[in-house]
Amino acid sequence: MLFKYLTSRCSQRWRLSVPSVSRRLISSKTPATASLSRLEPQQRVDLTQFTNNVRRVRDRLNRPLSYAEKVLYSHLDPEFDGPITRGSSQLKLRPRRIACQDATAQMALIQFMSAGLESSAVPTTVHCDHLIVSRDGEEHDLPRALDAHREVYEFMESACQKYNMGFWRPGAGIIHQIVLENYAFPGGMMVGTDSHTPNAGGLGMLAIGVGGADAVDVMAGLPLEMTAPKLLGVRLTGELNGWASPKDIINTVAGMITVKGGTGYVIEYFGPGTQTLSATGMATVCNMGAETGATTSIFPYAPAMSQYLRVNNRDDMAAAVESVSFELIADPGVEYDQVIHIDLSTLEPCINGPFTPDLSTPMSGFSAAVEREQWPGQLTAGLIGSCTNSSFEDMSKAANLAQQALDAGLKPTMPLLISPGSLQTRKTLQEAGILQVFEDLGATMLPNACGPCCGSWDRTDMPKGTKNSIITSYNRNFSGRLDSNPATSVFLASPEIVMSKVFSSDLSFNPTLDSLLTPSDEEFRFSPPTVDSFSSATHQTSDSAYLPPPSGGRSNLEVQINPSSQRLQKLVPFPPWSGQDFENCLILIKTVGKCTTDHITPAGPWFRYRGHLENISNNTLIGAVNAETQKVNTVRNQLTGRDGDVPATARYYQSQSVPWVIIADHNYGEGSSREHAALQPRYLGGVAIIAKSFARIHEANLKKQGLLALTFVDESDYDRIGASDRVSILGLGGLEPGRNLMLRVCPVEGEMWETEVRHSFTEEQVKYFKAGSALNLISGMNDGEA
């Protein structure tokens, strides 16, 4: 059996026995203190505080702790004295770091400016990786981005200087690779304004993706609020061999628990198999764990983590971590809410997709699936990189296979695009001679950036609407996400599988078994790649692309925003709640099926307006499927009786002072952390989203912006509501945690009916709603009004 999937009933948990671990006291001479990073020598962390906090929490709960619980609960706000119950308790946490990518940082910085604060309360960095559009290769793409986005880059750089934040310039690399190389460490906790922030879990860090408003809270010195997650334990035994890779671990897990199965859980890996993986391999697993809806994913300490820290010139952190390593694992006898068992020694490569990252097919069954599902059989492009698979180890494995093919006289049969994860990785690959292999192959070397993975790909070889298949080492494959072509079938695999498959245009080609014909008419078959995790050459750094905060005063510094800019716009506060129920609301759209953040606010060319709420609101819900007509971006204006696009219809309702709501299917807001998917409906006059269920980050984002995030108590009510109905949300005067609201539905024809809707608002989030937004509340506190 490849795996054993064990799930508990609600009243049960799985109890795991692990070898006992000695808990020695730390000597005062133990080197448990280190710099948070090489780039912030003045910021120090003493890991004895971590062990002391763990001891206190263990005594308080009087039970063994999982590793994720140790890290999470050791970062509780000192004033938090509430109960700690998985799945229900509202925690207040103090993360040690914030990282923001440029597409979300724009609005986060604008919100922070609106709060009237002088400096970020915790170390914060901004990373320029999303706006760089890939097309011709780094030599052309990076200069073009610098020119096209100069205004935005100058704004973010000036804001970082003003508010005491670090700034990683364009070309430095992908946010998550930079964080792994420079900032992540076992036992630490951070938040990031990107859904794949959990990448840092590969170094034992509890790293959580959040919306910009949550990040602004932490910047402002407020605690991060979240529900205590449940624990999904993944026990790894055995050791990867042959073609199996860390990517296949998470491809398998995603296939087992689906894109919403991780919601409300932290995925914690444990067992002897965790000690056989590299740090970057573990990061790959944690990174793509976001596709399950999990709060985050994490690995316990392994010697590979210390090795990675030292390779990246963080010797003091490695020593500090080693001194407390006995506490960087789960306690003996810990209980998980669910458990999965995967035997790494029997794992085979998997390919996930298309159109959803949880459709997982083992390589041995992929050819049959292609024929059965009638997926486009011609492979038209291969893409290697992204924050999931762009490390030195990933690139080395791909190069090993590329060299095998070159030695046999083979060349790719399609465009091959490669994105190193960071400037450091690129320099090290250059010194190790690996970039030369890719150049000999004829690959297009893209900038050190997200590129196609986040939709920043100007694909010119495939007309829109043409059915085709591509294979990538990325993490996400929703319709139209990569190349803005909804007809492209995107498959997700390891870099090894991607590289080996680009030598055959047949999607069904199995590189682990099938042979290719060389120019000399000889049969060629790939051998599994074998490489080291690290370069024998000296590891370079990306420091040349980093701008630290100024060491002197910042009071005279100005943030650069042109008042007439079409890219950047200061925020006008949303109006506070009127004190009345929302009555006779129109339904803007009733969506059906997947409605991810890519459907709510697409990326690609719209990235340029991420700092301008008015302009980017013109893409609101243009990718959502209308449940009434199955059409995209077409809804009936219930006031005029005419059909129109979604954002224009929303603006019309707003101009007539008529509130509106959205009716949605399961897992509404799945995908990225982009808070624009919440800001835009709020800006256009929306008051509530009523869904079968929500994705975690998006639900939090909606509440932060003063929107009601409501779910049907009876899911069948979704089917009863028609797009032409009027709805009223009643009982808002008594909005409080745990108390349902009433929904009154008035059809155009038929009798009025009522039903209950539930919410998950905390007391603090009720304050957001009443104030109009979390930002309004923070601004009021800063002005002494609350």
Q: Which residues are catalytic?
A: 129-130, 194, 476, 672, 674
Residue 57's SS3 state is: helix
Report the greatest alpha carbon distance in the chain.
80
> What b/e readout covers 645-670, taking b as 16+ CB neighbours within 10 angstroms?
bbbebbbbbeeeeebbbbbbbbbbbb
Distances (CA, A) of 84 to 55, 80, 230, 262: 15, 10, 11, 20
Q: Return d(Cα 650, Cα 624) in angstroms, integer.
A: 14
Amino acid symbol at 309: L
Residue 449's SS3 state is: coil
- Beta bridge pairs of residue 528: none
Strands 124-127 and 166-168: parallel
Q: Confirm if 661 and 690 have CB atoms less than 8 A apart.
A: yes
Q: Return d(Cα 737, Cα 777) in angstroms, integer.
A: 18
Q: Using alpha carbons only, what angle is made at residue 696 by residues 694 and 702, rounded to the nearest 5 degrees?
A: 70
Q: What is the DSSP letter of 133?
A: -
411-414's contacts with Cβ under 8 Å and 24+ in sequence apart are 411/441, 411/442, 411/503, 412/382, 412/441, 412/442, 412/443, 412/502, 412/503, 413/379, 413/502, 413/503, 413/504, 413/505, 414/379, 414/380, 414/381, 414/382, 414/502, 414/505
The two tokens of residue 360 are 């997982």
Q: Return d(Cα 539, Cα 246) in angstroms, integer.
A: 23
> What b/e readout covers 724-735, taking b as 16+ CB neighbours within 10 angstroms?
ebbbbbbebeeb
The two tokens of residue 688 are 């509530």
Burial class (CB in 10 A: 0-12, 13-18, 19+), 18: middle
Q: What is the DSSP letter of 705?
A: T
* 3-state helix/strand/coil string of 460-528: CCCCCCCCEEEEECCCCCCCCCCCCCCCEEEEECCHHHHHHHCCCCECCCCCCCCCEECCCCCEECCCC
Q: What is the DSSP letter of 382?
A: E
Burial class (CB in 10 A: 0-12, 13-18, 19+), 137: middle
Q: Confirm if 273 and 302 have CB atoms less than 8 A apart.
A: no
